[in-house]
Amino acid sequence: MDTLFQETNRYANFLNQESTAVWMESHPSSRYHKWPHAGIELPDLMKYLGLLLNMGLVPKKKKMDFWSTRRAIATPFFGEIMSSNFHALIDRMLHVNNITEEVPRGQDGFDPRVKVWPVLGKVNQSATKFYVRSRNISIDVP
């Protein structure tokens, strides 16, 4: 969680200083301007992840439907926790690796998997720790 929190803020800071700075000046109403200057707080990230988990429990056709105010499909819980714009902004900034250590596309050593390696490493570590193959295999025999 700490890595996700730190790298998301680092990535947002990197984007705001580098690639989008000129673009942002010409788009004053962009949601990028809503990113907190000091970065998001850990409770914001926890709310974001909680909403993501709830999205898996409440079927909707489109992501924006979770924030719909139409009576037929409304789920007010989502809007009470976080605005749709702020959720979409965190979606855009979410990062798990250090952007400053990435090799740019087109250069020797570029590996697009670097963006997910920290997560894969943790998943693999957890899988080897908790998964016992002989105990967790199910064979369907007629």
Owning domain of residue 44: 2-136
Task: Tell me, yes or no, whether 17 lies in a domain.
Answer: yes
Number of H helices and number of E strands within the chain?
A: 7, 0
On whether residue 48 sits in a domain, the answer given is yes
In a domain, 57, yes or no: yes
In a domain, 12, yes or no: yes
Predicted pLDDT of residue 124? 82
In a domain, 141, yes or no: no
Question: In whole angstroms, what is the distance from residue 110 CA to residue 60 CA?
Answer: 37
Render each residue's pLDDT in the chain as its tens digit; 142 residues: 888 899 999 988 887 775 667 777 777 787 777 888 888 999 999 999 999 999 999 999 999 999 999 999 999 999 999 999 999 999 989 988 888 888 888 999 998 888 777 778 888 888 878 766 666 566 666 6
Query: Per the structure, how many domains does the chain have?
Result: 1
CA 15 centroid distance within chain: 15
Domain presence at residue 88 = yes
pLDDT given at position 134 = 64
What confidence score (pLDDT) does residue 27 get?
78
What is the pTM assigned to this prediction?
Answer: 0.75
The tokens for 32 are 């990028």
pLDDT at 142: 62
**What single DSSP character describes residue 130?**
H
> For residue 28, what pLDDT is reported?
79
107 within some domain: yes
